[in-house]
């Protein structure tokens, strides 16, 4: 299984512990895997590269939202968003097996049997873990506070070489290093901040400050995807804003806050920016496209006349 999905799954299932709901998550994952493998029409849709992932997620969201455990649903939807379409049936089966092992053997035993090797693999694992944790944050302002807390802790470690050595010492167990973090941060920062710092210490960390700065970037990226800047030529009503936020949430797979910016020079329509995504549906953009379309044949004609 890809390290990203391992991190994502572990972050979601760790709080469940040995609760009965933990077994329900595993049961629901195997039920979804069997449903996809035994329903040809559904399998065709979910494994078709030509169907956008947002559409495939929407199909499963509609089909499963009231039938499976919420954690199982989140895992399945994330797999659709991150894994190759043609490998989804196999991935769903692997997810079921992995969750069963997590609950049956425990996280430490599973890691001992299936170690995650290499710096890039650990970064991928930590990225999945962080995404799962940060999905639970409701507002961008809270994400900003978490980002600031991690940044401040990175600067504390940077200013204290002895602390940096203690947190990166391979001779100390992960639990021991995490206890050092707990003593410094618990009660002073948000619990989610502590969870995120913990995960950066689980791999072979040589440079703790660099690992924490990377984590700051992950939180900043998550925050960027929570705020949709909507540049609009005309006022946007409350109902229209709600519909737009819901559509963007389906597209980005996370809650989105709208920041509406009046920009009359767009003439009509809107330009939406969410993280790296840019959707230009303004009248000005359409007019520019039309102008370019009209000018292109004229340029070609002039060129032909010059050649003659």
pLDDT tens across 125-145, in order?
A: 999 999 999 988 877 788 889
The mean-pLDDT minimum among 158-172, 238-252, 275-289 falls in 275-289
pLDDT of residue 295: 58
- Are 85 and 49 within 8 A, CB to CB? yes
pLDDT of residue 18: 61
Residues 168 and 90 in one domain: no
The sign of the torsion formed by the CA atoms of 127, 132, 133, 137 equals: positive
pLDDT of residue 148: 93
Residues 212 and 258 in one domain: no
Domain C-terminal end among 203, 222, 241? 222
Residues 198 and 232 in one domain: no
CB neighbours of residue 209 within 10 Å:
19
Structural domain including 162 reads 136-222
pLDDT of residue 276: 64
Residues 257 and 269 in one domain: yes
pLDDT of residue 302: 53
Instruction: For 171, list phi and psi in degrees, rounded to 5.
Output: -80, -10
pLDDT at 158 over 90: yes
Number of domains within the chain: 3
Please check whether residue 305 lies inside any domain of the structure.
no
pLDDT at 308 over 60: no
pLDDT of residue 269: 74
The sign of the torsion formed by the CA atoms of 6, 51, 34, 254 equals: positive
The neighbouring-strand residues paired with 271 are: 231, 280
pLDDT at 288 over 70: no
Query: Taking the mean position of all CA atoms in its chain, how far away is CA 188?
Result: 26
Q: Which two tokens stand for residue 8?
A: 């994502």
Q: How far is CA 232 from CA 241, 242, 249, 273, in A?
A: 11, 15, 19, 12
**Minimal CA–CA distance to 99: which of 34, 10, 20?**
10
pLDDT of residue 155: 94
Arithmetic mean of pLDDT, 209-228: 83
pLDDT at 287 over 60: no
pTM comes to 0.75
Residues 229 and 217 in one domain: no
Q: Confidence band (pLDDT; 50, 70, 90) for 286?
A: low
The end-to-end CA distance of the chain, in Å, is 63
| Percent of the chain whose pLDDT exceeds 90 | 38
Q: Confidence band (pLDDT; 50, 70, 90) for 21?
A: confident
Q: What is the mean pLDDT of the chain?
A: 83
Q: Confidence band (pLDDT; 50, 70, 90) for 149?
A: very high
Token pair 């359409």 is at which residue?
A: 286
Please check whether residue 207 lies inside any domain of the structure.
yes
Residues 91 and 28 in one domain: yes
pLDDT at 192 over 60: yes
Q: Confidence band (pLDDT; 50, 70, 90) for 271?
A: confident
Please check whether residue 297 lies inside any domain of the structure.
no
Residues 207 and 231 in one domain: no
- Are 170 and 232 within 8 A, CB to CB? no
């Amino acid at each position: 299984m890809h390290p990203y999905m391992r991190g994502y799954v572990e972050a979601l299932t760790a709080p469940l512990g040995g609760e009965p709901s933990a077994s329900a998550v595993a049961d629901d994952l195997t039920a979804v895997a069997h449903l996809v493998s035994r329903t040809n029409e559904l399998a065709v849709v979910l494994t078709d590269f030509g169907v956008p992932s947002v559409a495939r997620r929407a199909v499963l969201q509609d089909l499963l939202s009231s039938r499976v455990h919420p954690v199982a649903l989140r895992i399945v939807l994330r797999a659709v968003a991150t894994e190759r379409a043609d490998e989804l049936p196999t991935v769903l089966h692997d997810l079921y097996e992995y969750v069963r092992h997590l609950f049956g053997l425990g996280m430490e035993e599973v890691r001992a049997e299936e170690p995650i090797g290499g710096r890039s693999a650990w970064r991928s694992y930590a990225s999945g873990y962080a995404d799962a944790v940060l999905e639970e944050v409701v507002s961008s302002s809270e994400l900003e506070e978490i980002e600031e807390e991690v940044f401040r802790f990175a600067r504390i470690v940077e200013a204290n070489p002895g602390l940096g050595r203690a947190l990166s010492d391979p001779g100390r167990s992960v639990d021991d290093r995490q206890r050092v973090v707990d003593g410094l941060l618990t009660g002073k920062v948000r619990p989610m901040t502590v969870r995120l710092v913990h995960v950066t210490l689980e791999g072979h960390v040589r440079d703790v400050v660099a690992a924490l700065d990377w984590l700051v970037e992950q939180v900043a990226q998550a925050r960027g995807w929570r705020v949709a800047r909507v540049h609009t030529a005309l006022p946007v009503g409350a109902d229209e804003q709600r519909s737009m936020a819901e559509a963007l949430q389906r597209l980005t797979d996370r809650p989105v806050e709208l920041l509406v910016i009046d920009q009359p020079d767009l003439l009509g329509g809107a330009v939406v920016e969410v993280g790296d995504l840019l959707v230009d549906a303004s009248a000005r953009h359409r007019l520019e496209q039309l102008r370019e379309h009209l000018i292109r044949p004229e340029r070609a004609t002039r060129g032909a006349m010059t050649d003659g």
